[in-house]
Structure 1
Amino acid sequence: MTKRLGGRYELQTVIGGGGMAIVYKAVDTLLDRTVAVKMLRAQYAGDEEFVNRFRQEAQSAARLSHPNIVNLYDVGMSDGEYYIVMEYVDGPTLKDLIRDRGPLPVHEALDITEQICDALAHAHDHRIIHRDVKPHNILITQRGQVKVTDFGIARAVTGNTITHHNDTSVLGSVHYFSPEQARGATVSAKSDIYSLGVVMYEMLTKKLPFSGDSPVSVALKHLREDFVEPRELNPLIPQSVENIILRCLVKSPDLRYADMRAVKADLLTALIHPNLPKFRVPSDAIDETISIPAVGGRMRATESEREDNDEESEEELTPPSRRRRVWRTLMWIGIVLAVLVVGVLSAYYIVMGIAQVPNVNLPNVVGQPQAKAVALIEKAGIPQTQIHVQDAFNSQQPKGYVYSQNPTGPQQVKETRDIQLYVSDGAHKIQVPDLAGMPADQAKSTLSSDGFSNVTDNTVQSVSVAVGDVVSSNPPANSMVTPNTHIVLNISQGAETQVPNVYGKTVAQATQILQNAHLAVGQVTQIQFAAPNGTIVKMFPYNPGDTVPAGTSIDLWVASNSAGNSPGNSTGNSTGGSTTNSTGASLDNLPPNTHVRPVTIKVADPSGNPVVVQIIKSDAVSQNEQVVSQTITSTSTWNITMYLTPNSQGEIQVYENGKLQQDYPVQY
């Protein structure tokens, strides 16, 4: 017989568990919904400490309400068994994802981390520290949404858990917890930041920063040892992303991020500015605390014990030994004074030398093409050897244009100053996945996981694709586009269509209309009829407006009489000469099989404020050609002529006030 709790929660299967509790998939028979039920293990039901911890989890979770945190529905006790009823998440844990697909792509790992940050920031706002942030406690829904669970719970001791030596309270899983947790020191929100850094490290390398033969050895490594830096294990990680991990994993809490929102701020810009200087911990910021109460044993003497030992040793020194010690002290004082004098003199001459270097007026070259930017800086008086250029993906400026400079301009700088220019390599592009035949929800989740955020759907008729599944996408599968590209999913609405009215149309016109309605032309019969010659006078077996299966054949009767010419017939003479496009440009010298396609671009400005519009096109004739650079104050339209060949794909990018707003792939 199926077990039921509280008269409404019907337990089904075990879906997880730990040393303290078991998690079941269950059905809430009152509300008819699937839930997860966490039950305290029977052996702990009589242990007041474990029951209190179980209640603590329920109380902590009840204070939180956030889309990235597993919701708590109910708590209770049935036949002496304590349980918590929570939201059921139909998806794997992040640990499963790393195990199956790790290392994860950078953009996917950043998206997951941003959602974890949102969840933990919400918890910290409510003065709740998770203390056990790890991939096992992070669930991923089928739509790619992150759900953090296990808030406020202190787990029972397992092989990978550290406990406090005084009260045996569990402080976290050893591979993911912070140095202060290893020491048994006060835990704060910055402890969760450290654990988040370990999770990022594992997502991007599929390895843990520290491992060992026992929990104690791993804890000691968190306290004292350095780890292999992520980029050594995965060179695809940008420096900006590694910097975030390194800053989260600083052993001193004071040198980590201030809070989760500060972490997310860097995550949001990491791919915009990927090539930042490497983050380094200040050399004077090494944590000197070496007492490790959480590990349980004395590893070495504390600072106070070492001082006591020094005093005892000093009492045993002989007078000659004391004299030698005094001379050594005086010698070191002399050396320090000499170094200080040399340093002061060196600094004086360096400062005087710098002061004599003339200043130049550094211009602001952001938004300029690279060649022009370099020329302007050279003209200001800075040699080209001091101008350093670095390319990076950027959606704010077209390819080849400067999107940032250091130092910024305009300002006065020394003519010996190095200038760093950051030049756009174009917007970062990713491949549109092949979604044909996939359910619409799953397709949208896939696009979201790949980094696409601007997705809409459009219903289309399809005979071969089931209702609700994707027929195709626009841009099509395997196209390389920017993440902000508008993706349209064509969703099958089934295999039925409505018969259009083709009375009075020619056979050619009727054929096109029927094909557009996903219907076929059946038998065409000539009939003597008092109507314009060649026009449709009868349809069979269906009439206009009837709903029929797509692909149905419609028979047509065509008027045949001697009253005159068929509708639409005309004659005329063509003249020789060069073929030209709408702008009059000769097409004689274009590549073979060139197809000319006009594209209309419209930019609307309902506010009436001035907008600087730049339009860049790439086709078989030119690459990254700026065809429009204009300031508008009202809605404007331009006709762009594209030259396409079977082996090339065109592209039009529209920038408004320097920001990429539209990105159109143009097919042959």
Structure 2
Amino acid sequence: MDATLSDPLVGRRIDSRYQVLSRIGRGGMGVVYRAEDDRLEREVALKVLRSDLAHDAEARQRFVREAKAAARLAHPNVVSVLDQGTDGEIAYLVMELVPGRTLRDAVAEKGSLTPGEALTVLEAVLDALAEAHAKGIVHRDVKPANVLVGEHGRIKVADFGLARSAAAATTAMTGATELIGTAEYLAPERVARGIADARSDVYAVGVLLFEMLTGRPPFTGDVPVNLAYRHVYDDVPAPSSLVPGLPVELDGLVARATAKDPDDRPADAGRFLEEVRAVHHRMDPSGLSQRSEPLTEAIPVVAGSTMRIPLVPDDGTGAAPVAPAPVRPADPTEIGYGPGGRTRRGGMIAMVALVLTLALAGSVVWFFGAGPGAYTDTPTGLVGRTEPEARQILTAAGLQAEVEQEFHDTAAPDTVISTDPGEGRRVRKEGTVTLVLSKGPELFAVPAVVEETQEDADRMLQEADLAVGEVRREFSEDVEEGRVISSSLEPGTQHRRGTPVDLVVSDGPRPIEVPALVGTPYEEAAATLEEAGLTPERAGEEHSETVPKGAVLGQEPNGGTLFRGDPVRLTVSLGPPLVKVPEVQGMQLREAEALLKGLGFQVKVERAYGGIFGTVRQATPSAGTSIPKGSVVNLLVV
């Protein structure tokens, strides 16, 4: 059945944010999935600690250590870790998704790489490790499966799950009888003494170069412990011994990087990178592109996963691992067969006795040099102590102390928060215990979020390890709708992880109701608009028989809402239109009244001498005068 279809995590949402889409691969410690980050709407790689290791405190610590180690590295050839957390019993890391394949898959497909291809990959890997070594980080699990080849050829180093500080790595062991790593790439000092530094990574890079050039690791086998001890007892062969025609300079690089004594190797990845670049520059272009065939048909070899490798087999005998004895052609005279064979049986008995004696001596040496007799327990009661107190306890136990510091939200500064090896765990006698001291709570600077969109402000606060607090919305005449007006904490101030930052977000300008102003004197209407924050504009003047002169005859808009500063256009009344008084003198009253009223005038009659003739003697205002329509015309009638 397809692993994706049967995997219970596929289709699940982790931590209410990461939607698991499909399974990418499985390693010794974790499973990697393709997932969708719902918050930022992007695809990521989600690495989940294997379920059988969910309650393994050391494995969970490695997960956290991987996130912290990668977070300290900002390099184009290092896979970025974006997030880390837990969801119930699930411990996870979120990493950038690198479309492509692993170097292991690329080598398996091609059989081997050309010298030019191998050196290009090697330089990118060393460039990434040089950044780590410069910051005191040792990877401890360099192998083709942890080198990613992107779609456009970008090389990235992944999986810092075994990474440690250089000081801690020189003494760190997972126990008295095991170490964690991939047997094909373990440096001799890791197997023999359980220590690692930058030169151990250089050794693994040398094995990596050998595999790229030949298509297989230098040592292979089914039993990890036997394979690991091959690095202690056997020299890595020259690549050209398997692939004739390879430039001798490449044999030299492999020999330099895989020297048994760490002192004979380059001091770190940066130094080795300088040597590799110099060789690459000197090589003939034709030699760089040459793809040579191995002496024998290549047999695909898949290197093992990262695992706990027992250094002492648990067979109940307590016997130490023994390197395979050299094999040479049998001589019949030495084993009592053929002519004269019987006369040599006494010598054979003596030889067996000598071998048993040497084996017993070797077991004693092993017991006190690398076996249980070489170890003691890390004292308890160190956590919570000050550095001087902890050092005193270790000194009394015959142990040395190294110091690292980490931020801690609750532990007092300069007190021990953890040890490596942990309290009660095995440590070599007269060895070193790493004391991890609290630096107090880590403080994070508040980013400047004013005038950022609310979405960007949320992201900036989360990236700064702060929390989004209460979000209020207010009208603003100056800040665009949806952008932050203010935050409760000043930008640049330092606060603890997760401190909430309240935001005030703009709802844009406040809407203003447009008042009804028709019939209001213009000056009063203009003042009303200005007081509301709007701008009065005089649009023109018109006559009106209903609106008094100087009052607002019309407005645009006539109601609704506007925003501060928006204009309101006002039309002002000129009063009624002007009409000329007609000539009515000499007309009969009835005729004159009809004419004037027809023109919109009102008529007032005054009679002289009783007005017995009914004739208009005089009109006031006089004929030809223009007066407002509706005005009164006085008629004198005789």
TM-score (ref. length: structure 2): 0.42
Larger Rg over CA atoms? 2
